[in-house]
Amino acid sequence: MPTERDILITGIGLVSCLGEGVDAHWKALNGAAFAPTLDTETFLSLAVHPIVKLELDRQIPKRGDQRTMEPWQRIGTYAAGLALDSAGIKGNAELLDRTDMIVAAGGGERDYAVDAAILSALPGAADPDVKLNEMLTSDLRPTLFLAQLSNLLAGNISVVHGVVGASRTFMGEEAAGVEAVRIACARIADGTSDLLLVGGSFNAERPDILLHYEMGRVLWKQPYAPIAERLGAGGGMLLGSVGCFLVLESRAHAAQRGAAPVARIAGIQSDRCNRAPGAATANAQRQFEALAANLNLQETAIISGASGVGVEEPIFLQGLNLPIRSPANALGHSLEPSFPANLALAAMAVSRGKLFAPLEAAEAVTDIKLKNALVTAWGHWRGEGMALITAT
């Protein structure tokens, strides 16, 4: 039964190695033979899924804005612009003035040349600590800080696109993406917001990011293998650059302005645990039971947030006996925006009434009439979440 406070997705902006926009992703995911888009050259033995080349002028018209940002912000600001375009609210100052925003973000790029110069100079310096102070003072670009602060993706979206209702940024890898969407949905459901931009951005093509995850021993360093195979061989993530924003809107507000909804977020759940054996599975099981209680499972698929690490997740998902797609096979794993991006892909599939093609041998071909998608998030370290996407 439709209600005025139903949460509808009325805009999607998605960029990844597969291209720009929902249609490009649909096409790429249904191509004759899926082949991963990987950069295996730039970062030693660490492969990443690189962002497609973006014509920045189309979403970030001022060159000054482009220059002020680092890549993670450009990717995110670009994706946000696509989402606003797709919702038909780009440039609508009256609506944007009360469009709220929740961004899931990490931090920004460093000046790698400056870091390298400092690290190289310190061992021979008479007073390395003072040398560090001096070099940072003389070599850091003053505006780089603004490209590094977590909340400055949101800040740039406010400046470039004029989204100036509420602005909140959540940090914390995959879970931040889940919570951003959960809070956005809660605010629409309780009537404190009618129109929200929610999503995030991740640039995988960064040596500092790769250093971080390599220190955690969580990267896949062998030749490309799909997620199921990786999980069977000790696991490992292949990171991918992704920007994704969704425009969420109450049904009443969407109807009133004549917006065409793509899909509906019918429910969302999240939790944490310390990953003691069975704990994450118990969270996921509870979430599944809460969301799938009244579903016709014959019309339902799983869009999995599988990252490539973790042993319980594949067992849990296989146990559900539903068709599964793990988009990280194609986009790479993108931490903060991975859940919003998977919601976008689920919305895309549900709105077309069919699931996209398998991305690896472990994913079965299916011709079900797709009406629902359960989107899972299973943080590579912490955080479990799940959402139900249905037709509008």
Partner 1 sequence: MSRSDLDARGRPVVVVTGMGVLTSLGQGQFDNWRELTAGTSGIRRITRFPVGGLKTTVAGTVDFVAVEEVSAPALSEKIAHRVIEEAIAQSAIGTVGNFPGPLFLALPPVELEWPQRRAIAAATGKNESITYDDLLRVATAVDFSPYYRRFLFGSVAENLAETFGTKGSPIAISTACASGATAIQQGVEAIRRGETAVALCAGTDASVNPESLIRFSLLSALSTRNDPPSSAARPFSKDRNGFVMAEGGGALVLESQAHARARGAKILGVLEGCGEKSDGFHRTRSSPDGKPIIGCMRNALADAGVTPEGVDYINAHGTGTPENDKMEWLGVSTLFGERAERIPISSNKSMIGHTLTAAGAIEAIFSLLAIQNGRLPPTINYDTPDPALPLDCVPNVTRDVQVTRVISNSFGFGGQNVCLVLAAPG
Q: Which two tokens stand for residue 157?
A: 């979206």
Q: Least CB distance from residue 260 to partner 1, whole Å? A: 27
Residues 128-147 within binding reach of partner 1 (CB under 8 A): 128-130, 132-134, 136-137, 140, 142, 144-146
Q: Which residues, 6+ apart, have CB-to-CB distance to 91 below 8 Å?
A: 162
Q: What angle do CA 29, 31, 37 make, to 5 degrees?
A: 65
Q: Yes or no: say if 13 and 199 are a contact pair by the CB < 8 Å rule.
A: yes
Annotate each residue in 281-320 with x if it binds partner 1 (CB under 8 A) or - if it does not, as one string.
----------------------------------------
Q: With respect to partner 1, which residue has the nearer C-beta, 23 or 127? A: 127
Exposure string over 72-92, b if 16+ CB within 10 A, otherwise e: bbbbbbbbbbbbbbbbbbbee
Candidates 50-58, 186-194, 284-292, 299-307; binding stretch for partner 1 (CB under 8 A): 186-194
Q: Least CB distance from residue 112 to partner 1, whole Å? A: 6
Q: Which residues, 6+ apart, have CB-to-CB distance to 100 below 8 Å?
A: 165, 166, 167, 184, 187, 193, 195, 196, 197
Q: What angle do CA 183, 188, 192 make, to 5 degrees?
A: 95
271 makes contact with partner 1 (CB under 8 A): yes
Q: With respect to partner 1, which residue has the nearer C-beta, 6 or 173? A: 173
Q: What angle do CA 331, 336, 339 make, to 5 degrees?
A: 65
39 makes contact with partner 1 (CB under 8 A): no
Q: Least CB distance from residue 22 to partner 1, whole Å? A: 26
Of residues 237, 147, 164, 161, the one with CA closest to residue 201? 147
124 makes contact with partner 1 (CB under 8 A): yes
150 makes contact with partner 1 (CB under 8 A): yes
Q: Which two tokens stand for residue 119?
A: 């690290």
Q: What angle do CA 327, 17, 213 make, to 5 degrees?
A: 70
Q: With respect to partner 1, which residue has the nearer C-beta, 122 or 357? A: 122
Query: Which residue of 25, 74, 90, 187 would you call a contact of partner 1, by CB under 8 A?
Result: 187
382 makes contact with partner 1 (CB under 8 A): yes
Candidates 40-48, 51-59, 226-234, 318-326; binding stretch for partner 1 (CB under 8 A): 40-48
Residues 4-33 within binding reach of partner 1 (CB under 8 A): none
- What burial class does residue 248 get, using C-beta atoms within 10 Å of its C-beta: 0-12 exposed, 13-18 middle, 19+ buried? buried
Q: Least CB distance from residue 242 to partner 1, whole Å? A: 16
Q: Least CB distance from residue 358 to partner 1, whole Å? A: 31
